[in-house]
Amino acid sequence: MTLLEQIERDEGYRQFAYADSVGVWTVGIGRNLESKGVSREEARYLAQNDLNECTAALRRDLPYFDGLSEARQGVLINMAFNLGVAGLLKFDKMLTAVGGGYYKEAAKEMINSTWARQVGDRARRLAQQMETDQWI
């Protein structure tokens, strides 16, 4: 048995945050979120895993995805990261415009959404990136 295996056995594994036996918020294998949290490196690792999952789902669900430029793929991945893939897929008019190469129209659909009112500058930047094909 390795030390890590022993610690996992003794601490257990929890996918979601929970209050431990003394009320401290914990996640994973005994990670104390109140005093230790997650480092920038750990957060970036987790985010990259989530981005990889979003990308795979978009490749599966949007037949035109791989034909888009990297900047426009980035817009869709960013939105899927924020909304969830299922949430992004509700943007019917925007996605139809993207699939047809009507990027200015897609950007307008992005801006004319509840999502844009909720996220503000993020939506404006991503709409500009969609329209101009330049990373913003």
- Please indicate, yes or no, whether residues 44 and 16 belong to a single structural domain of this protein: no
- Please indicate, yes or no, whether residues 16 and 53 belong to a single structural domain of this protein: no
Cα–Cα distance for residue pair 40/122, rounded to 1 Å: 21
* pLDDT for the residue numbered 85: 98
* pLDDT for the residue numbered 74: 98
* pLDDT for the residue numbered 72: 98
* pLDDT for the residue numbered 90: 98
CATH code of residue 63:
1.10.530.40
Cα–Cα distance for residue pair 6/13, rounded to 1 Å: 12
Q: Which residues pair with 26 in a beta bridge?
A: 18, 32
Domain total of the chain:
2
- Please indicate, yes or no, whether residues 63 and 91 belong to a single structural domain of this protein: yes
Cα–Cα distance for residue pair 43/23, rounded to 1 Å: 23
Tokens 């005093």 found at? 35
Which portions of the chain are predicted below pLDDT 50? none
* Residue 36: strand, helix, or coil: coil
- In degrees, to the nearest 5, what angle opens at C-alpha 39 toward C-alphas 36 and 44? 145
* pLDDT for the residue numbered 132: 98
Reported pTM = 0.92
Q: Fill in the amino acid letter for 116.
A: A
- Please indicate, yes or no, whether residues 90 and 58 belong to a single structural domain of this protein: yes
- Please indicate, yes or no, whether residues 51 and 92 belong to a single structural domain of this protein: yes
The mean pLDDT value of the chain amounts to 97
Q: Locate 74 and state its tokens.
A: 């980035």
- Please indicate, yes or no, whether residues 20 and 45 belong to a single structural domain of this protein: no
Domain extent for 113: 40-132
Q: Which residues pair with 51 in a beta bridge?
A: none
- In degrees, to the nearest 5, what angle opens at C-alpha 112 toward C-alphas 106 and 113? 100
**What would the pLDDT profile of 19-32 be if each residue is shown by its tens digit?**
999 999 999 999 99
**What would the pLDDT profile of 87-104 be if each residue is shown by its tens digit?**
999 999 999 999 999 999
Q: Locate 119 and state its tokens.
A: 């996220």
- Please indicate, yes or no, whether residues 70 and 91 belong to a single structural domain of this protein: yes
* pLDDT for the residue numbered 5: 97
**Do 77 and 69 touch, CB atoms closer than 8 A?**
no
- Please indicate, yes or no, whether residues 53 and 96 belong to a single structural domain of this protein: yes
